[in-house]
Amino acid sequence: MKKRKLLGLILSVVMVVTMLGGCGGASNNKTSSGDGGSGDGNDLITVGFSQVGAESDWRTANTESMKSTFTEANGYRLIFDDAQQKQENQLKAIRNFIQQEVDYIVLAPVTESGWDAVLKEAKDADIPVIIVDRMVDVSDDSLYTAWVGSNFKLEGQKACAWLKAYQDAKKIDKINIVDIQGTIGASAQIGRTEALNEAVKANGWNLLAQQTGEFTQAKGQEVMESMLKQYKDINVVYCENDNEAFGAIDAIEAAGKTVGPDGDILVMSFDTTKAGITDTQSGKIILNTECNPLHGPRVEEIIKTLESGGTPEKKAYVEEGVFAHGDEVPSVTVDDQKYDVTKVTKEVVEGRAY
């Protein structure tokens, strides 16, 4: 940020000196017309964005939000790097951003730990780092400027509060639940799993199994197939994202079982992507708790605050809702806070932005 402004100042001084030199020379008729170079490119704010990968529909929407926000038309130059789910690729990308002297680094970390050294390098280079989606677990919070994302444990708490209320409303005797977890160590996995574990103890549910589906449809299907072979009495599957839910549904139906309010197994999910909320309308997914991927505008707000000399909030949560197939549970309460539950209709699906 400071280097870009300094470069602009130097170029301005050079232009002034050049113009003055031209005025003093009477041996030619040249005048300054500005054709000698364009300063427009130097006015762009350069943002380096290290994305986890493209493992899910949610991640694709998250990437598109960043790309559509940080355009040249909006005054930015975006350097995008897809880490393909590997932390070593993200570490390399961040160091490349530092070498390129970008103005800001945006990081969507694949996991919470292992960032102290590279973030210190960015701090030493005076480059602000904005974390999006998952959190980072660092020894010094000053290693990053701000974080934008979801309250993943609250998402899980909302989902579990809904399941308890639904169980009571439908008079379901026992909850025999399996958990298809996200990528182990990711903030979303940690928060959603922790919420479920607490609800299992509080409500006397039977947690039969937990295994990672790595946030992908293929792995979600594989894990569900294995769980169905091991446990014959599953009546709820808690999928930690939509793509895992799609895979779980495929596995359940392939096994000759049914999903939905009148089926053998209730499928719960997180994300509420367009495809996920469509399945919620049909009942294949009984509940879908939103995880908003549209982080681009919030990140831009932080950058604008920094550009104006202000100090952004350390943590900025995105707004998120709860979407259900039916209207049996109109709202849920977590820590004395009430959250409305939206019944998914055709209009809700058509109005979905991602």
Output the 3-class SS for 59-82. HHHHHHHHHHHCCHHHCEEEEEEE
Whether 25 is covered by a domain: the verdict is: no
293-315 pLDDT tens trace: 999 999 999 999 999 999 999 99
Model confidence at 230: pLDDT above 80: yes
| Whole-angstrom distance, CA of residue 241 vs CA of residue 243 | 6
Exposure string for 228-246, b = 16+ CB within 10 A, e = fewer? beeeeebbbbbbbbbbbbb
Q: Is residue 21, in this structure, part of any structural domain at all?
A: no
Residue 28 lies in a domain: no
Residues 146 and 239 in one domain: no
Quote the tokens at residue 233: 């009495």
Supply the pLDDT for residue 354. 85
Domain co-membership, 327 together with 234: yes
Q: Spell out the residues 6+ positions from residue 266 whose beta carbon is closer than 8 angstroms to its own.
A: 235, 236, 237, 259, 260, 286, 287
The separation between CA 295 and the C-alpha centre of its own chain, rounded to angstroms, equals 7
- Say what the pLDDT of residue 34 is: 33
Q: Token pair of 19, please?
A: 């113009």
Query: 199 lies in a domain?
Result: yes
Does residue 3 carry a pLDDT above 70? no
Domain assignment of residue 73, given as a range: 43-150+294-317
Please tell me the number of Cα atoms within 13 Å of 67 on its side-chain side.
10
Longest pairwise C-alpha distance within the chain: 98
| The two structure tokens encoding residue 56 | 């899910």
Same domain, 178 and 264: yes
Closest Cα to residue 67, out of 282, 294, 247, 269? 294
Of 185, 287, 206, 207, the residue nearest 245 (C-alpha)? 287
- Summarize pLDDT for 127-165 with one digit per residue, the tens: 999 999 999 999 999 999 999 999 999 999 999 999 999
Residue 31 has pLDDT above 50, yes or no: no
CA distance 349 to 347: 5
CB–CB of 61/30 below 8 Å? no
pLDDT > 80? residue 56: yes
Q: Residue 28: pLDDT above 60?
A: no
pLDDT value, residue 353: 80
Which residues are bridge partners to 332 per DSSP?
A: 339
Q: Name residues whose C-beta falls within 8 Å of residue 47's C-beta, 6 or more positions apart in sequence.
A: 70, 76, 77, 78, 79, 102, 103, 104, 105, 106, 303
pLDDT digits (tens, 9 = 90+) for 63-90: 999 999 999 999 999 999 999 999 999 9
Residues 129 and 245 in one domain: no
CATH of the domain at 331: 3.40.50.2300
Considering the domain architecture, whether residues 178 and 258 belong to the same structural domain is answered as: yes
Same domain for 214 and 286: yes
35 is a domain residue? no
Domain co-membership, 175 together with 93: no
Q: Is residue 2 part of a domain?
A: no
Is residue 211 predicted with pLDDT exceeding 90? yes
Tokens of 320: 């998120």
Q: What is the mean pLDDT of residues 269-279?
A: 96
Q: How many domains does the chain have?
A: 2
Checking if the pLDDT of 37 tops 90, the result is no
Shared domain check, 167 and 57: no
List the alpha helices (DSSP H) in the chain: 2-24, 57-69, 87-99, 116-124, 152-170, 187-203, 217-230, 242-254, 274-282, 296-307, 346-350
Do 324 and 221 share a structural domain?
yes
Q: What is the radius of gyration, based on Cα positions, of the chain?
A: 25
- Establish if 31 belongs to a structural domain: no
Residue 42: band (very low, low, confident or very high) from pLDDT cuts 50, 70, 90: low
302 & 288 share domain: no
For residues 55 and 170, state if they share a domain: no
Residues with Cβ within 8 Å of residue 20, at least 6 apart in sequence: none
Report yes or no on 33 lying in a domain: no
Percentage of residues in the chain having pLDDT higher than 90: 85
**Cα dihedral value 63, 54, 318, 316, nearest 10:** -80
* Region label for 101, one of left (φ > 0), alpha (ψ between -120 and 50) or beta (otherwise): left
Average pLDDT over residues 273-283: 97
Q: Do both 132 and 176 map to the same domain? A: no
pLDDT above 80 for 1:
no
